[in-house]
Amino acid sequence: MLDSLLCLPFKTFRHKNAYDVLSGSVVTFDHDLLFEIVSILSSMREEKIDERSFFSKYLKKQGVLWSNYRDALKELMSYRHQGIFLKDTHTYEKEARHLDQLLKGIKKKFSRKQQAAALVLNITHACNLRCHYCHNTGNVYDGCRVHSVKSMSFDLARKLIADRLFYSKNSKDSVDIIFFGGEPLLEFQKLRALIMYARQEKRRLNHKTKSFQFSMATNGILLTEDIIKFCIKNRIHLQVSIDGPQAIHDKNRMTADGRGSFRQVVRNLKELKRLSAASTYPQYFDKYIKVNATNFYQTDQETQSVVDFFSRSSLFNGLLNRGRIMFEAADVMTLKGEYKKKQIKIDAQSKQAGLETLEDWKSEFKKKECRIKRLLDILSSTKESSSKKEEAARRLARIIEDYEAFLVIVPGKQCHIRARTGACIPGDYKQFVDLDGKIYICTECRLNKTTMIGQGGVLDFKKVVKTMKAHVLQFGHECRVCPVFVFCKQCVIQSADNNGLLKFKRKSVNCRKYKEDITKKFSFIYSMIEAYPEFERFIRKEYRKSK
């Protein structure tokens, strides 16, 4: 009898491979037939099938010889003797042991008062727009608040920043401070003072973090010359909202008196680009500006016009080519279910317009391959200075960060604390602090009481443990037969609802897309390893150093 396999088949430029979930191994196949058999078994719905039925159903019509099939099965059995491609022996006791280790790891981490990398400050509830799909509009989402003139006090914001810098002063991770609204630029004088304070405090503490940056999401209405120059000087990352051409943008993004905002935003961005080009840092517009285009119940024709607008605009085309324009549906805590269909339509329309090259892993490979090869050449050169080699090593390590979870064959790799599902631990990566000091998991969770994990700027460890326990048990039971389960980042918020209950709410529409993304990442990192032996040596060296 043949069992279904819990593994993820993937291809590199030279080989055919599979990631075996239970053993945590990556296997490279010498024969195409065995790869095909493993691929079929990994996608098979039946748990068991006899060998002759499998051959007749899947291989006979393709002209595969019975003798070759039997040889491939013998090779599969040889892997099983090595502990690879075994049947899942998952038990609740096994899950409980994993959960126990996870919770101990969380306790140890938070006992050191290690702060999250990203601190998001909800600096104000006020806004100069009344966008139809906004959380704060009051008529779209269940349980959301309405606009108000309330803002975070300067003293509270300063305390939160000071705590973040103090507890992370010896960390090698980056520290991001993100200003959120409402519209953060309504509090620009406060933001200016907080940014200057943070820079002074960083110098006073002799902060060791590898990067320290400020970001904010803005509607772009208040980008005056003075504000633009301040943003350029302080290298502030700006995410500006433009939904597409004027007719589509102004339909949803209007001022309080009902006027459209398109003309003003585009005018301000043109001025930002001009001032950036004339500044001492002319790359600012290209490197520090992102555009967020939100789809809200658009027709297919409107979606196509959005894609055409960004691809043909001289102002936005450069950002589009660098992947700095994000197409997304309106955030959907409670948005009726049309979201799933619409998000798929956005992807389809983008691909029809030729934007698939932005997501194609092969083009990503080629772009990153040149960069990685250049950095490896610097590291192996006898002519380059030690400072340049150190910078090359830092950049190479930064590239690897996005793929480190998939480096399962690297011995001595330091395992990070993470949920069985791969989701971030509440309060670990990001903390969203509302203007009254309440801490939430992130910006997407601020309307849900079950996701509040602290008050007065202080984390509630017991609440973090309770949330993670519910998430791991519920998602773990439902998703344990998925080959990308341990990497899946479907958020903890999907275990919660607005009624204060923690319950399983998996978004299955994302499962196929996420599995494809994980497969691409496996393909990329192992293609790099097989193309450049020195790349693998660097990885091994990095992880020995981090142990």
Where does 446-508 have alpha helices with state H?
461-479
| Secondary element (H or E) of residue 97 | helix 92-111
Q: How far apart are CA 74 and CA 76, in angstroms?
A: 5
Contact 244, 309 (CB under 8 A): yes
User: Prior bond to 182 cis, omega within 30?
Assistant: yes
- H-helix or E-strand containing 7? strand 7-11
- 397 contacts: CB under 8 Å, gap ≥ 6: 542
CB distance 264 to 224 below 8 Å: no
Distance CA(251)–CA(125), nearest Å, equals 22
Q: Cβ(475)–Cβ(504) under 8 Å?
A: yes
- What is the DSSP secondary-structure string of 141-186? STT-----S-B--HHHHHHHHHHHHHHTTT-SS-EEEEEESS-GGG
9, containing H or E segment? strand 7-11
The pLDDT, as a whole number, for residue 90 is 54
- For the record, the structure tokens of 429 come out as 């990566």
> 290 forms bridges with which residues in the sheet?
239
Q: What is the pLDDT of residue 500?
A: 44
Residues facing residue 254 across a β-bridge: 260
Phi, psi (rounded to 5 degrees) for 142: -70, 135
Q: What is the pLDDT of residue 95?
A: 59
The helix (run of H) or strand (run of E) holding residue 195 is: helix 188-205
Distance CA(22)–CA(7), nearest Å, equals 8
Asked if residue 240 lies in contact with residue 220, where contact means CB atoms within 8 angstroms, the answer is yes
- The tokens for 211 are 């990067």
Q: What tokens does 383 get?
A: 């002519």
**E-strand stretches of 395-535:** 430-433, 439-440, 452-455, 458-459
- Which pLDDT does position 510 carry in this prediction? 63
> What pLDDT, in 10s, does the model give residues 20-59?
887 778 889 988 999 999 999 988 766 678 899 889 988 9
Rg (CA), the chain: 25
The kind and range of the H/E element at 272 are helix 262-278
The structure tokens 């090779």 sit at 75
How many whole angstroms separate alpha carbon 23 and alpha carbon 20? 6
Domain assignments of the chain as residue spans, ordered by start = 2-81, 123-356
Residue with tokens 């910006």: 443
What is the distance between the alpha carbons of residues 9 and 338, in angstroms, rounded to a whole number? 32
At residue 212, the 3 state secondary structure works out as: strand
CB burial of residue 97 (10 Å; 0-12, 13-18, 19+):
exposed
Asked whether the beta carbons of 498 and 333 are under 8 A apart, the reply is yes
153: which 2 tokens? 């006090």
The pLDDT value given to residue 289:
94
Residue pair 125/151 in contact (Cβ under 8 Å)? The answer is yes
Residue 135 is predicted with a pLDDT of 65
How is residue 526 written in tokens? 């192992």
* Contact (Cβ atoms closer than 8 angstroms) between residue 214 and residue 195: yes
For the chain, what's the residue count? 547
Residue 424 is classified by DSSP as P
List C-alpha distances in Å: 457 to 81, 148, 164: 53, 22, 10
Distance, CA of 141 to chain centre? 24
**Residue 211 DSSP one-character state:** -
Instruction: Give residue 143's pLDDT.
Output: 43
pLDDT at res. 70: 93
Decide: 331 and 135 in contact? Cβ < 8 Å.
Answer: yes
Q: Extract long-range pairs of 200-203: CB within 8 Å, 24+ residues apart.
A: 201/161, 201/162, 201/165, 202/165
pLDDT for residue 340? 38
**Which class for 77: exposed (0-12), middle (13-18), buried (19 or more C-beta within 10 A)?**
exposed
Strands 175-180 and 25-29: unpaired
Place domain 123-356 in its CATH homologous superfamily.
Answer: Aldolase class I (3.20.20.70)
Q: How far is CA 338 from the centre of its chain?
A: 23
Structure tokens belonging to residue 310: 């960004």
Per-residue pLDDT of the chain (547 residues; tens, 9 = 90+): 788 888 899 988 888 999 888 777 888 998 899 999 999 998 876 667 889 988 998 898 888 999 999 999 999 999 988 888 887 655 555 556 667 777 777 777 676 555 667 889 999 988 999 887 776 654 444 444 556 788 999 999 999 988 888 777 666 667 889 999 889 999 999 999 999 999 888 888 776 666 778 999 999 999 999 999 999 999 999 999 999 999 999 988 998 888 999 999 999 999 999 999 999 999 999 999 999 888 776 677 777 788 788 888 899 888 887 778 887 765 433 333 333 334 434 444 444 333 343 344 456 566 777 888 888 888 888 888 888 888 888 888 877 777 777 776 554 444 444 455 666 777 777 888 988 898 887 776 555 566 788 888 788 888 888 777 777 776 666 676 778 877 777 777 665 554 444 454 555 556 777 788 888 888 888 888 888 888 878 877 776 555 4
Taking the C-alpha atoms of residue 29 and residue 79, their distance in angstroms, rounded to an integer, is 11
pLDDT at residue 496, rounded to an integer: 55
CA atoms within 13 A on the CB side of 123: 29
On whether the pTM is more than 0.85, the answer is no
CB within 8 Å of 44: residues ≥ 6 apart: 4, 5
